[in-house]
Amino acid sequence: MQRAVSVRFGSSPSQSNALDDVFNILYQSLILAENQVPQQDDPPKDPNAFLRMILPLVLMMVLFYFLLLRPQRRREQELRQMVQNVKENDRIVTVGGIYGVVTNVQRDTERVTVRVDETTGTKLKINMSSIARVITDDEKDSAGASGNKS
């Protein structure tokens, strides 16, 4: 049997022979591993394997719905209800952070006139969709009580 002689620069001939032997052994073991015949007495395939794989994904989606999506929808519905029920003299906060008191509601055009400054009587006309929240009496009381404690 003849050996192929490979010349590698920067290594001694004894190192290249040792590397060639290692690569030959790895190559032969790879060929032997590919040619193995599967055993005939394999256990039968699990018919519920797909369900076992998909069940955790379904559970995660259900948890995602109940922990994130459902509460968010409920909050959005409450905000829409508050905006639809806004009336004169309600205190609101806009999406831009402007605080004001509602002076006029035009439901057909979905516009609200808001007084933002008590001293000058400055008023703004805004869309109902730009109302971020309606300040209730409970929120006014809690803000006043926390402001007095400081």
> How do residues 94-148 score in pLDDT, each as one tens digit?
999 999 999 999 989 989 999 999 899 899 999 999 999 998 876 666 665 555 5
- Say if CB 79 and CB 133 are below 8 A apart: yes
Q: Residue 1's pLDDT is what?
A: 47
Range of the domain at 112: 87-149
The tally of domains found in the chain comes to 1
**Is the residue at 95 inside a domain?**
yes
Evaluate whether residue 32 is within a structural domain: no
Instruction: State the pLDDT at residue 96.
Output: 93
The answer to whether residue 124 is domain-embedded is yes
Question: d(Cα 89, Cα 104) in Å, to the nearest integer?
Answer: 9
Is there a domain that residue 107 lies in?
yes
**Residue 138 in 3-state DSSP?**
helix
CATH code: domain of residue 102: 2.30.30
**Which residues are CB-neighbours of 129 under 8 A, at least 6 positions away?**
83, 110
* 56 has a pLDDT exceeding 60: yes
The pLDDT score that the predictor gives to residue 143 is 60
| Cβ 137 vs Cβ 149: under 8 Å | no
Residue 34 lies in a domain: no
Cβ contact 92:135 at 8 Å: yes
Residue 69: pLDDT over 60: yes
Residue at 94 is within a domain: yes
The reported pTM is: 0.52
The per-residue pLDDT for 144 is: 56
The answer to the question of residue 64 being in a domain is no
Alpha helices (H) along 5-136: 13-34, 49-64, 70-84
pLDDT greater than 50 at residue 150: no
Domain annotation covers residue 66: no
- How many C-beta atoms lie closer than 10 Å to residue 102's C-beta? 19
In sequence order, the β-bridge partners of residue 123 are 115
Length of the chain, please? 150
**More confident: 56 or 26:** 56
Q: Which position has the higher pLDDT, 16 or 68? A: 68
> Tens digits of per-residue pLDDT, 5-55?
454 444 555 556 777 887 788 777 767 666 665 656 666 677 888 888 899
Strand partners, 61: none
